[in-house]
Every structure is written in C-alpha cells, then in structure tokens.
Structure 1
Amino acid sequence: MSMDETGRGGPPEGSGEPTPAAAGDRRTSGVPSDEVRCWILEQLPVPVAYFGRDQLLAMANGAAAGSVGKPEASILGLRPGEVEPGLFLEGGEGLAEAIARVLRTGEGEPYETHLVVAGSEHIWQAAMSPVRNAAGEVQGVSVVTLDTTEQFWARRRLAVLNKASMCIGSTLDVGRTAEELAELGIDGFADFVTVDLLAEVLAGDEARSVLHRDRISFHRVAQRSVLEGCPESVVPLGDIHDYNRDSVVGRALITGEPSRHTVDEEALLRWAAERPDRGRRMRLKKVHSVLVVPLRARGITLGIAVFARHRTPAGFGSADLQLATELVSRAAVCVDNARRYTRERATALALQRSLLPRRAARQQAVEVTTRYLPNTNGAGIGGDWFDVIPLSGARVALVVGDVVGHGLHASATMGRLRTAVRTLADVDLAPEELLTQLDALVLTLDREEPADSADGATVAGATCLYAVYDPAGGCCTMARAGHPEPMLVRPDGTVEQLELPSGPPLGVGGLTFEAAEFELPEGSRLALYTDGLIETAGRDVDTALADLRDLLGRPARSLEEACDNVMDALVPEQPNDDVALLLARTRRLDAGHYASWDLAADPAVVSYARKRAAAQLTAWGLDDAVFTTELVVSELVTNAIRYGGEPIRLRLIRDTALICEVFDGSSTAPHLRRARIFDEGGRGLLLVASLTERWGTRYTGTGKTIWAEQPLPGAHEAELL
C-alpha cells in the first residue's frame, strides 16, 4: 500500500478509483447547460407553466401550450385561464385566485379544475408551488398539471355503481324502480334519461319475446333531466326513439345489445328553427351523444333505457357504455322482481276482494260501513277480513279476523276461515262455541300444511272477533280469539273500549273461549278493526287507541264520514299491514215489529196461538200471509207441547222477512222425517220446510228455539223493481 504525504493510505496505483479531484470533476461534468435545461422543460410531457408576480404567464412548455391548443408564443403574457386576450377557458375561473393565494402566502397547494378545451372537458390536477430567488423572496408560481380525466371518470363510474346497489330496487314497484334508474342516471353521468317499459311488464304479466311481434307497445315510465321540467323530452332524436325494427331502438330490442350513437346537431337546430316555441323550451340544448341500453332480465327484454348528453361536453365512451349496461342490468332484475310481485299481489288482491263481502247483507239490525286497505310495503296481501251475517230471529253477526302471514296463501286461508264462520253461524252456534270450532279447523289446516311444504307457507294462526247482536232486546254477545277489543260509541258521544275475556289466537289449541254480553242502546256505534289500524311504525298502540277513541267520539254526519275520518287520520299513505274497519250503528225492533206470547203446555192453546198470530198479521197488513203462518204456528207449537217442555213462548217478527219462533225448555233436537203413507204423525217439520224459505234450531242455556222464515208478501216484486 502506498502512503500519501500525510501518512494516510491512498488508493493503489492502477486501482481505477477516482481521486477526490477526479470525483469533483465528474460531478460537475454532467451538469446540463441552460440550453439542455430548456430542452428538458420543453420536451417534458407534463404541462408546466410559470406566472410572475404580475400573475401573467411568463413561461410555458410545449405540453402546456398543446393542452390549450395554442402555440407558446401566443399565450405568453395572458392571465390564468385565458386562451386569448379577454377569452377565458370554461372552468378556469378559479385559477387566478389560487395563484394569487400562493403568491401571497408563499405556500404551495394542490388544485383541481375542470377545463373545457375545444369542446372537450378535461379534469386537471395541478400542483402550484412558489418560486423564490436567492434571498427567499417569492418571484412567481410554477404550475405543474396532470390530466386525470380518465381517473376522474373511473372514480365517478365506480361511485355510480356503488350508489346503484343502494338506490335501485328499494321498493317492489315497477314504476318506482324505473324512476330510480333515471334519477341515478342524471347524477353525474348523463344529462337526460328516459326509461320505457313493455305494456305487459307494467301490468305484471310475463313479457313476451319481441322477435315475432308486428307491434310493440311501450309506455314511458320515467324521464329525468339535469334541467328542470325535462325540456329535452320535446327534442326528436332521429330514429333513436322510433320503435320500428330498422331503428336504433328496434335493433337494440331485437339483438338485446346496448349501443352508442351521436346525434346530428344540425338537424336538431333546423328542427328548433321550424318550431320556435319548442326551440325556446330546448334552451338550445345540443344532444350530441346517446346510449341505448335494453332492459333484459332472465333472457327476456322488458324495456329500453336511453341516456343522453347535451351539457356535458364529453361524449359517451366505451367505459360509459359498460357502466350504463351494468346499471340497466341491475335495474332490469329489480323491475322483473317487481313485476313478479305485482302479478302475485294483483292475484292475491283479486282473490281476497272476491272473498270479502261485495255488498251488505239484507238485514235491519244494524247499519254497517266497512273499509279495507291492503298493505303496500312489499310483504304481499294479508289475510284480513270482515263479514256481516244475518242470523235467525232478525239478529246479525259481525265478524272481523286476521290471518297471520301475507300473500296468496294468507288470502286463501282467509277465504276458508270466512266460509267456515258462515257455516258455523248458520247453525246458530254461540260466539264462544263458534271460536272453539274455528280453532279446531285452524289446527287441522296447520297439520295439512307441513313446515317443509313446497312454498314454505304454513297456517301459523289467526285472530278473530265474533259478535252477535239481537235488535229485539239490544243484547250483544261477543267473544274474541287474540283479536283487539272493539270500541263502543254511545249515543251521547262517550267512547269506551269493551273489555272482553282474553282468548288465545286461533290455532293454539287446548284453551277455551269465553263470551261477554252487553246491552247496547239504540243508535250506538260499534267499531271492530284489525291490528293494522292501531299498530303502525313510529306510534305505540296505547297512543293509537287513544287517537281512535278521540276520532270515534267526534260528531259525524254519517257512518261513511266517521269511517273516512278514522282511516285518514290513523292509516299512513303506505300502510305496513292490511287494515280492516267495520262500523255498525245499532237499531232496535219496536213494538210494531214483533209480538210474543207465553203459552201453557196444553194442546188447547194451539188454536189460541193461531188466532193471536192471525190477528197480529192482520194488524201488520199481512193478510196474504195469514194462512201459511197459521199452519206454521200450529205445527211448531204442537211440537213444543208434545216433545218439549215449559216454558213455551211464541214470537212473531216482521223484519226483512216474516219470522215465526217457538221457544221451549227442552234441548231435544228436532229432525226432519218423511212419514209413511199410513203414519199419523211425522209430517210437521216437513210441512214447515215446504211452506217457508228456511227453518232451523238454535240452542240457549235454558232450551231451544225453532224458527221459520217466509218472505213478506210483495217482497220479491219489490226486489225486482
């Protein structure tokens, strides 16, 4: 090793390592000259500009000049955002303020601007930095920019797709889903959007292939614009909106493929000139780029969506077409789901309405008004029902029920239960006994529908309130199975919730039902309802019941008005559950409509009973019915004396029909017999059945009543009139 003059070892000769002097020469030898520096700046592909303290452009490289489409010499001395003296780029208004801020504060800052250059929009990300002299004083601002247009639109498309997953298909409504697509389309993507659907899709029917149709019927379901009032809707887009097979839309419908198109601007301007009124509404919008995307789901075309740009300078690109296709594809699946729901809901609603009473039954015991409103939250039609059933003896049964669940299964189950209630009511079962039989039926239905059935539906239960009102004495007997208690509005306007024994819902089994009796003054109003009336989101049940009491207590000119007041106040515009409401105003039979006599258990009273009945019919002006009624009274009273026991009572009622009732203290069930030729008896009930429209037996705790009804003379002719 060699030693230098200081005694330290230096590099060996021939080692090739530079000496310090040689290294310094190497560092300085590569320093570019001013000319090279100019080449570097000029050839840099990134736009670079320099503004002096006077905020005028002092230097710009070729990329900066090329970004505005001007030679460098022509833009020197211009203010920020100017391309010519006094002519500013669209979107460059904030550049001057940003540069002035950097000059004032001496701190750099990022800046994003949307510039429209030569009819094309660009997004520039700029880095503004102060330029200082040797003394550290700010002499100007350098602006280095990057064109981030592609990245900007990529982020925008990603944001639109993310928003689509949350916004499109929020409801099971075909029209609303189309509107959501149109609303999302104008949110930073298009300037004008239309959505047209096939007519059968709107109706909830299966969409048919468009390949072999002579005529395709579409309906405009949604259109949205960035301009208020959608003035673009009056602008013809050539053959874009033409539905013939050779048009753009026709080809898209047949092929199922989306496409991009440009619109002839001169043709639009000529059209506007020919129609000055519509031209003003256009506000000289120039639709220049259009996307046509068919709505297809499960291999079937459901409609067409059109996206147009007229304010956004950039036309649609291939990435935009891909984005629109993705948006429309998502919307199409939601539209198809909504269509299927619409069809099922319409079917369930039609089934349910066909099972509900279409008109009030003929009876005079109560005046009745009803309301039924299906839910609209997408869960499907429920199983709420009501009924008014005329009973023997001028009585009437009022029924309100609710099947657990929604959809076709709930509606069908409701129909079965309503039929069962009517059948059980015809045999005059007491309310608690009727609910017991109905509970057994629900259990049977539940066993017939196992949990793993094909549609996954089971009869989970139902609630029911059954009330029987007798206008002769004003007595109302009620029983409930898990149903809300009714409200009673007395003639003086006081309202109370009737306390009924709590019964389990139908389908629980093993528990009993109890009835309660109430005497209702004439003119009282009875309100029966399902839980959808009082159980709504954002309001507890106690508050709803208090509101219901207040509404029922308000004066109303009619039951219709009272019903409307309750529904308008308590039911939201889009209820979450079915709502059924039945209002009944009670009436009483006065002395002019019924008469009764207590009879002894002596065959001699039969003739007396016939005479009293005949006299009463004459007093009512029903002479034509005397002969038949005498025969009926004679047979029923004879049977009561022979086979029944005291007490015996005869009652005639003049209501919608002429009713003859005979009560006795025996629970022996009468039955119809066919007497042989030489038999001396056994023809009584057969004779009664032949002379009257219907007859039957009802039981009480102390005996039974045999009744028979015959039409009032002239009643049939009155109905025909």
Structure 2
Amino acid sequence: MGSGEASRQRAGHRAGHEEPAPSGGLLDLLSVSAIVLDARGRVVFWSPQAQQIFGYRAHEALGQYAARLMVDERQWKQVAELFAQVMEEGTSWAGAFPVRHKDGSTRLVEFRNVRLEGEDGAFYALGIAVDHAALKRAERDLALTARLFAQSPIGLGIVDTDLRYLVVNPTLARINGRPEHQQVGRTVREVLDFMDPTPIEEAMRRVLDSGEPLLDQFAVAPTPADPSGRDHAWSVSYYRLEDSAGQVLGLAVELVDVTEQYRASAEAATARRRLTLIADASARIGTTLDVETTAGELAESCVPELADVAAVDLLDAVLRGNDRSWEPSGTAAIRTLALTAYGVPTFSFPVGHIARYAPDHLVTQCMTTGRPALAPHLTGEELAAVAPEHAAAVLNRAGAHSCLAVPLVSRGHVLGALALARGRNPAPFTDDDAVLALDLAARAAISIDHARYYQNQRQAAENLQRSLLPQKPPYRPGVDTACRYQPASSISGIGGDWYDVIALPDDKTALVIGDVMGSGTAAATTMGQLRTATRTLAALDMDPAELLHHLDRITVDLEQQFATCTYAVYDPHRADCRIAAAGHLPPVLLPAGGAPRFLDVPTGAPLGVGHISPRTAQLRIGPGDGLLLYTDGLVETRSSSLEERLDLLLRLLAGPPGPLEETCDHLLQQLRHPDEPDDVALLMARMR
C-alpha cells in the first residue's frame, strides 16, 4: 500500500468510518493449509495451501484415503488410532507428524486436528497443517524478537497509524516515566505530556507517509524518570512497519540515551568557549597603559559570553597611588571605572562614581575575603541588598537574577573588584563561572596595576618636568612671548625639553629652547641643571656663542651628557637679534609682511661633545616680526620625513599673523598626535 493509501486509511478511521481490517501476513508466511476428512478418512476438502505442503492438487487428493495418500504404510495403524480417537471421543490432537510428499520425500508437518459435526449429524475431521520447519523458524524469530525487545537497553516502541502506542519495552517505559500499561493504547501526545510532542508527531507522520526512515534525530528534554529536572538527550530513529504484502502496520520507534555523551560534549564545548574567552581577553586586556581603558577592556571581555552586566570597581586610594592592601573596614571609597551591559543602555550610569559599600555587598565580601562572592539566585529585594545602589537602575533594566563578584589582586594587594550579573542568560552563576571570572580578574589586575604604576610614574615625571619650567614668561619690554610644553605619551619620552625667557640688562631679553637627549626623571634633572646654568651665564650678558661654549663644558660633567640648545638675545632698542645654536633645529622667522622662513643659523655640535665652537648669527628684526623656537618633538615622526614636516610647519605659519597663544595651540593640534613618543617645547616671540 502506498503512502497515499495509508494516509486515506488513517483519515477514514479518524472520521469514524469503520473499514475491514487488513489481513495478517503471518498466516501467509506460514502457508497454513486446511484438510477435511469424512468419517472413513477420505479427503472431502483440500485447500490450495495444502498443495504447497503435500504436493498434490485438489483433484488428486479429493476422495482419497488420507493415510494412504500421505503416510507411510508402516504408520497406518498409528494414524488410524489417532483418527479414531478424534472421531469417537471428539478430542483434539496436536503434534508434529512425518508425512509423505508427492515427490516421495518425507517432511515433518505440524497438525492441529479437531472433530466437526455437519448439518446431517455426520462427523468430519478438520486438520490444520503447517510446515514444521517454517513454524519453528517463526517461533524462534518471535521468541528472539520478544526477548530482545524486553531486554534491550535501547528504548523500543511500536505505534499504529494513529500514533497510539501498541507496544513499549521496559526501557522506553522507564524513559517516558510511566508504566507500560499507562502507555499502551494512548497517543504519543498523551504519553509525552511533559514536553512539546509536536515535532515528534510531525516526524512520525512524515515517515508513515513517505516510508523513508528518519535516523539519529537529536532530542533534548527533561524526563519524569529524573526528578532533578535536568535535561536528558536521546538519539531517536523512526521506521515504517509493513507486512509481506506492503500493508502499513505502523511505526517502530528507537531511542538511545546519549545523555552522558551530550553532557560530556556540552562540557567540552563550554571548556572550549572558556579557553577562547581567556585567549581573547588576554589579547584584548592591557593594550594600553591606561587604567580606565584597561578596566573597560576587562568589562567588555566578560559581556555577553560570561555575564550580561559587568562593572570594574577600584579602590580610590589605589588610584591615588596608595599600595596599602584593602582592610575590611567597610568604609573605603570605591570608584567604578567601567560598566558594560548587553542590550541595556548604560548612559545613566555614573562611571567614575565613588561609593562606600556596606559590608554585606558582594563587592565588599570578595575584597575582604580575597575569594569570589556568589549569589546564584536573587529576587528583586535581595538584589538591592547585595548590589550597590548607584547600579540598581542598570541591573533592574537587565533583569538581573544572579550576581558574582571577584577581587582584583596584584602582587598581594587588593585593587578592587569585578562585579558581574546575569539577566538575559537564564542560567545562574556557578562555581565554574567564579573560577573563570577569577582568572580574568587576575590577568586584568596585573595590567591595571602596571597601568596604575605607569601613570603614577608618568605623572611624577611630568610634574617634575613642569616644576622646572617657568610657569609664565615674564613681561619684557618690546617683545610678547608665548610658550607651550606637551609631554610624551610614555614615561620614556618625558623630561628633556625646556624653554625659558630671561630678563637681561638694558631691556634685552634672552629666548632659550633646549632638548636633553634622554628621558625620564634623569633627563628632567639634567634639564633643570642646564636651565639654571643658562640663567646664571645669561646674567653675565655674554655673547650667545660664548654662552653655549661655557654651557658645553658644564654639560660634559652631567649625568645626561648631550643636549641641543638655541640661545637668542633680542635688543628692542637696536631692533636686532643675535642667535647661536648647538645641534638644534633652525628657528623660524615670521616677518611682518612676508612668508615665514627658516633662519640660516650654524647648528654646530650638541652640548656635551666638548670643545664646541658655535657661531653667533645676527639679524635685523623689527616691530611685528616674530620668531619661533621649538624642539624636534614638534616635527619629527616615524611616518614622514623631516623635510616634509618642516615644510608643513612653514605652511601652517603662513598667512596673517594671529595671537601667539592661538598660534601655539594650532601648531600642536596640527603637528602632534596624542600617542607621540617624544615631548615637545616651543617658544614664540613677537616684537613690538
């Protein structure tokens, strides 16, 4: 029967129309034959199947004595006794008996003999015959099938064309969580009421209609057999059952419990995800030596793979350079440096907010104990008790139901905490999540500590540098000045550049720019010494070249032995300027009515080489003219040549002159990048 006919039969049955049941194939398989004998033992009825067992056609057997036709003469007496017993006593007889085939061979045939009574009161003998070997094969197959079905560790079941269970084995009964008698006769939907059976029903009907089996369909669901409510996994296969004539009988269902493999695979997948998360976090966290940036990288690494909300809190004292470990007083100020939330706006969260957490807050607990603080299940009221008040709005929007906090510890010092929450993710935080978060926090704490140390050192070097520079150029007759100092992005670039404006006798003004070769506090210290020496020598009103010559002798004895310098003396009464340079870039002249140009000043060797012979250049410089002195940090970069950068400097200075302060800012904005590795100093002067 085709799939369309099977569908029509199921539809007709569901509509309430009774139809003849399809014939069973087992009788045809065994070729059951029927023979009727009269009271004298002659054949009066011969079924077509009898020919298959005995070899005789009906016209050859009818009217013949059955014993003479089918039994060896040595067994006639035994046959006569059995026949008489059936006919006289009316008892049935069953057993296997050797019979003679038409071809002369002997075969063992299974008989069931009973007496029949006709309308005329005469008695007849009905013999039901089956080939003994075929019957034993069928019995063996049925017994084997029944034993395998009952003892199989695989869940096995048979449903009819209306998806009602006909048979379930003990394994399937256990999986479905019901005794066998509560499943047989019920539909799949009724038995599997603990889950959504729709996909299963659709798959079964597809197999019934098409005849194509569905193998190894993966299904995950809880089962009543497991009171813990945990998900179980099965591999399910469906086969359509047909008889020998192709009649659709129903569907065979096979379930293999693969829960252990599923959980092992899930655990392996989780482990891979966590390793990937750690690897990504290791590459992402600590890309800069900036505390706020590093805190943000940590928070972003946790969302959404580990948490839906992540906040990084640091002790305010730690940010201010205090390395003293956290003490569980519950009164320390804690600053939130970063917050990241998955799918939830955080614009209202006060990043940089300082709070004092109560002792029962998770952040306080983890910092006090040095271990993760876990609150796997939280109601709204409980959330308010363990979470900081200023974070409540974000956590409520995220629907937080589970929280976790781990300490940020570096070199034995507690720096702060990483606080996590889950909202969209329905799974609560576990101890495994705490271990992962602790690993991420430990890696980030090292980077944060390095960034904090770097920023403190950088701030110290920058403060030292600025303290050694003049805070504001003094007012000088006939000349206006503006100056700038911009530190490098790293500690290694801070400390060597300086500028100065020095008052000289007769209203003259000395303009100085210099750059110590080196960096850090050592370079800043050397710069301070050179600036002091320069001011001392300038008081003697020396020629610029002579001053640099003496300054060279002083530099030889300093820790940082090399420096470049340009020294200029402007006399407003004579409207001239004398300039000398020691290894420094050329100054820029800004004529009142012309294009800016570099002054041809002999640069000579840097200070510290020893026995240098700088030369003084003299130029006329009148009212409205300007002069720019600068260090190499303004024009030197790795991406462009020095010539290109010097040309750009002249182009930026072209055009009508503007206020000196604005011009300084403009040059820094156009020529400097925030990540430049060198500091820069510049000094501008305009003659009145």
Q: Report the TM-score when normalising by structure 1.
A: 0.61
**Alignment CA distance shift 1:33-1:85 (3 Å):** closer
Query: Could you tell me which residue of structure 2 aligns to residue 328 of structure 1?
Result: 441
Deviation, 1:222, is 0.9
SS in 2 for 1:585: strand
Partner SS for 2:600: coil
Question: Structure 2 matches for 1:561-580, cutoff 5 A?
Answer: 561-580=662-681
For 1:197-236, list aligned pairs within 5 A.
197-203=314-320, 205-211=321-327, 213=329, 215-230=331-346
1:467 and 2:568 aligned:
yes
Task: Name the aligned partner's letter for residue 605 of structure 2.
Answer: P
Equivalent of 1:429 in 542, 547, 569: 542
Counterpart of 1:581, as a letter, is L
Matches within 5 A, 1:206-605: 206-211=322-327, 213=329, 215-230=331-346, 243-267=357-381, 285-379=398-492, 381-446=494-559, 459=560, 461-587=562-688
Q: Which residue identity does 1:419 align to in structure 2?
A: T
Distance change >3 Å, CA 547–CA 422, structure 1 → 2: same
User: CA separation in 1, counterparts of 2:253 and 2:336?
Assistant: 54
CA contact (8 A) 1:130 1:142 kept: yes
Q: Is the deviation greater in 259-268 or in 461-470?
A: 259-268
Paired position in structure 2 for 1:42: 154
Letter in 2 for 1:206: N
Aligned-partner residue type, residue 407 of structure 1: G
CA–CA distance in structure 2, aligned partners of residues 37 and 441 of structure 1 = 103
The AA in structure 1 aligned to 2:331 is R
Structure 1 residue 422: Cα displacement: 0.8
Counterparts of 1:105-184 in structure 2, within 5 Å, are 146-147=262-263, 148-184=265-301
Residue type of the partner of 1:84? D
% of aligned pairs identical?
36
Q: Which residue of 1 aligns with 2:74?
A: none
Pair 390,233 (structure 1): closer, same or farther in 2 beyond 3 Å:
closer
In structure 2, give the amino acid aligned to 1:478.
Answer: I
The CA distance in 1 between the partners of 2:169 and 2:546, in whole Å, is 98
1:376 and 1:70 map into 2 onto residues whose CA distance is 72
Q: Give the residue type in structure 2 aligned to 1:585.
A: R
SS, match of residue 555 in structure 1: coil
- CA change 1:494–1:233 in 2 (3 A) is closer
2:648 aligned counterpart, secondary structure: helix
User: Structure 1 residues 517, 50: closer, same or farther in 2, change over 3 A?
Assistant: farther
| Partner SS, residue 405 of structure 1 | coil
Structure 1 residues 363, 264: closer, same or farther in 2, change over 3 A?
same
Letter in 1 for 2:339: Q
Long gaps (5+) in structure 2: 1-136, 160-164, 243-250
| Counterpart position of 1:186 | 303
Residues 533 and 571, structure 1, Cα contact 8 Å, conserved in 2: yes
Question: May I ask how many residue pairs the two structures share in their alignment?
Answer: 516
- Measure, in 2, the Cα distance between the counterparts of 1:60 and 1:231: 59
- Aligned pairs (5 A) from 1:656-667: none
* Contact 2:513–2:629 under 8 Å retained in 1: yes
Contact 2:493 2:678 in 1 (8 A): no
Would the aligned equivalents of 2:636 and 2:645 in 1 still touch at CA under 8 Å?
yes
Shift of 1:219: 1.1
**C-alpha distance in 1 between matches for 2:296 and 2:616:** 53
Larger radius of gyration: 2
- Contact 2:326 2:415 (C-alpha < 8 Å) held by counterparts: no
Deviation at 1:244, TM superposition (A): 2.5
Q: Distance in 2 between matches of 1:87 and 1:375?
A: 65
Aligned to 1:251, what secondary structure does the other structure show?
A: helix
State the 1:305 CA deviation.
1.5
Q: Quote how far apart the aligned CAs of 1:182 are.
A: 0.9
Superposed CA deviations along residues 590-611 of structure 1, whole A, max 9, x for unmatched, are xxxxxxxxxxxxxxxxxxxxxx
**Is the Cα–Cα contact under 8 Å of residues 242 and 250 in structure 1 kept in the other structure?**
no
Going from structure 1 to structure 2, the CA distance change for 1:233 and 1:419 (only over 3 Å counts) comes to closer
CA distance in 2, matches of 1:227, 1:211: 36
Root-mean-square deviation over aligned CA pairs: 5.0
Cα distance change, pair 519–305 in 1 and its aligned pair in 2 (3 A)? same
